[in-house]
Structure 1
């Protein structure tokens, strides 16, 4: 039973000590960011638009009713009217008051490729929206990375400040004893005490800044960060400098949209072929002779095939092509500019990484030397060789050396992540 309890306790301790990883923060930040809903919105908008386009192939029905009063209508020739009058036949001809109610039906047979082009435009527009969302989410990743590394740097600063505070308090206790023994002046102890208070103020400020960073990370990720430790990420330098940024995909999708819009405009110069039918009940009917003999309402129906061709689109066709060409040229310029800026930034970041690695080679040696100097200064102070000011300077130098060593280690990983972000690799 005891081994089982020991195992459970070990697992619980391990789970409790598990820190939050950068990858976890990035994933949660993307899921928590409101703009991610844009993917679903774009998908539903495209679905609705495509449904409307497909319904363009359904028959069109138009129900109507009308009554007209005309100033002239077809009539019998005078000679025929006179002859019929002699035969006691009174045919009045068509009435100037005409009325009917009916339904018109039309069905597209061929639309010149307009519906297919419209579907391609809708899909291209959805790709642009999705790419825009991806760009926005990618910017969020950069902000989260900066906050994450900011927390790590602040924690190192706080830890080193606490160590410095402990060291100052130890020396203050030693000086108090020396003052009591008459081997040190009271002002020496007061000077160290003032330094302790100043260091405590810096610690308070750093802890407040750390709390602010953690709150910001909680807002971005939707997680309760609290005092949970953050795991130091590991990063490898990308071997390929070819960028795979979402901004490039956005430019590509905008170019595809331009091409789809151009193809859609090209379909406007194509003829349309469709079937039509008309049925109505009213007066006059299609048999005008019968309607001239009597003015009774009748049921009528007609149908056929219709060819329509709107040649107005030819007037703007060349300008549409030129406009699309200029848009694509502008996109190519934007792409080249983005690639150039990315190349410049990645080159600078690689140089920064190389410089940091070179500097870090001597960090540990500097810390070792500063520690030896501080220990010697403490001994010299005890023997009255140096004053308190000199000791405080040595403590500050050692603290700065240790802090710089930790900073360089975190900054190196941060620089690698910034390079990976620049290239998206």
Structure 2
């Protein structure tokens, strides 16, 4: 009794277990997983780390700068006071001198140089990330090609099933007619050859599908079963939407880098203020006429202003303007080429729409010719070669229709990819 119950449960649960092994995926899911698992995505974290380290180093510009120095020297001549006072010996400097100093500088204002460097760092980081986004965007196109390649193969495999069923029906018909002596063995052999040809095509398509599935698995970093069901993508499209490609955002980020560099030019031509302090021990001290080792200290405010940058300021602005004009030219060229591509793809979409309308009519007529051929063959006024030709012609019409359907869908997604939406 227990054995019977176990067998019954196995039979009941088997369909559920088999069903659970079949996965269902869609195009958007594949695109997102491929992006997340593409090796280049790791560059995002590296760019952010580099930005953090650079900004942290720039922030340290306003920390006190400490330096230690020392010096021992001997000079052949010394400064003397050219005055003699009777009864008083004016001390002289020693020719050997020694000192060790500790200098501390605190930046008060650097003319905006640190702030402008931070802007450049952040702008460059944003630009590098957006450039990375452009490279990652190309992965979508590869996924589209694989996904629609698998869908096209599935369509062809379905048509092979229809063809096989059609040929098998005629094989059974010829076998029955052969028994009744109203058909030839060669007719049966012709149908067998076509069935074998169909098996060969199925092997080729199945092998190609396995290769596409494996490549798609590598991209999304997940194992996909060979029995996977690929959902048919949505065929809706809006031709009026504006271009929203990541390349356009990359050009905008590059322009922000130029703006940040402009602030650097201004900062180079501004004065810099800082506090300084120096403590020392040496011979002599601050009193040059005292030959004993003494400690001393100096402190104050320092101003520095480099006017040499004014000579190159005008040309630096011109160079930046030239870079911006070049960037604008690149952006306009990209938009022009993209609009041309969109026009071409839109024409392709319109072409496939018209072809699919004709496909329905061609299939209807081919089916009518095939049925007429089958009727003629039964009546002995049609040979098997001609009938097989009619069967293959109808099958080819259906295959052509399925290919047009997939090309139509793929053109829609090529348009969306080119458009950036």
**TM-score using structure 1 length:** 0.90
What does residue 33 of structure 2 align with?
28
**Count of residues paired in the alignment:** 409
Gaps of 5+ in 2: 1-12
CA contact (8 A) 1:53 1:119 kept: yes
Q: Which residue of 2 aligns with 1:249?
A: 249
2:210 counterpart of 1:230: no
Cα deviations by residue, 1:224-272 (Å, 9 ceiling, x for unpaired) = 1122111111132125331010000001111111121122122112121
> Cα distance, 1:129 vs. partner?
0.8
**Distance in 1 (alpha carbons) for counterparts of 2:297 and 2:126:** 47
After superposing the two structures, state which structure 1 stretch, 171-180 or 30-39, moved more: 171-180
Deviates more, 1:250-259 or 1:398-407: 398-407
Aligned to 2:153: 154
5+ residue gaps, structure 1: 1-7
Q: Which residue does 1:213 correspond to in 2?
A: 212
Partner residue in 2 for 1:4: none
Partner-residue secondary structure (3-state), 2:230: coil
Does the 8 A contact of 1:38 with 1:129 survive in 2? no
Corresponding position of 1:410: 406
* Deviation readout 1:124-180 (Å, 9 max, x if unpaired): 101111111111111111111111111100111122123223322333343344445
Alignment of 1:34-113 (within 5 A): 34-77=39-82, 79-80=84-85, 83=86, 93-113=92-112
**How far apart are residue 187 of structure 1 and its match?**
2.9
2: distance between equivalents of 1:52 and 1:286? Answer: 36
- Cα distance in structure 1, aligned partners of 2:223 and 2:353: 35
Tell me, yes or no, if the aligned pair for 1:162 and 1:203 is still in contact at 8 Å. no
1:15 Cα shift? 6.1
Shift in Å, 1:108: 1.1
Q: Say whether the 8 Å CA contact 1:374–1:391 is kept in structure 2.
A: yes
CA distance in 2, matches of 1:157, 1:410: 11
Q: Which of 303, 307, 310 matches 1:307?
A: 303
Query: What root-mean-square deviation, in Å, do the aligned CA atoms of Structure 1 and Structure 2 show?
Result: 2.3
2:264 is matched with which residue? 264
Mapped partners of 1:300, 1:216: distance in 2: 76
Aligned 8 A contact 2:258 2:320 in 1: yes
Quick one: structure 1 residues 187 and 148, their matched pair in 2 at CA, closer, same or farther if it must change by over 3 Å?
same
- Residue aligning to 1:3: none
Report the 3-state secondary structure (helix = DSSP H, G, I; strand = E; otherwise coil) of the residue aligned with 2:80.
coil
**Residues in 1 aligned to 2:14 and 2:247: alpha-carbon distance in whole angstroms:** 49
Residue 410 of structure 1 and its aligned partner are, at CA, apart by 2.4
| Cα distance in 2 between the residues matched to 1:189 and 1:11 | 41
Written as runs of structure 1 = structure 2, the 5 A alignment for 1:382-393 is 382-393=378-389
Contact 2:23 2:224 in 1 (8 A): no
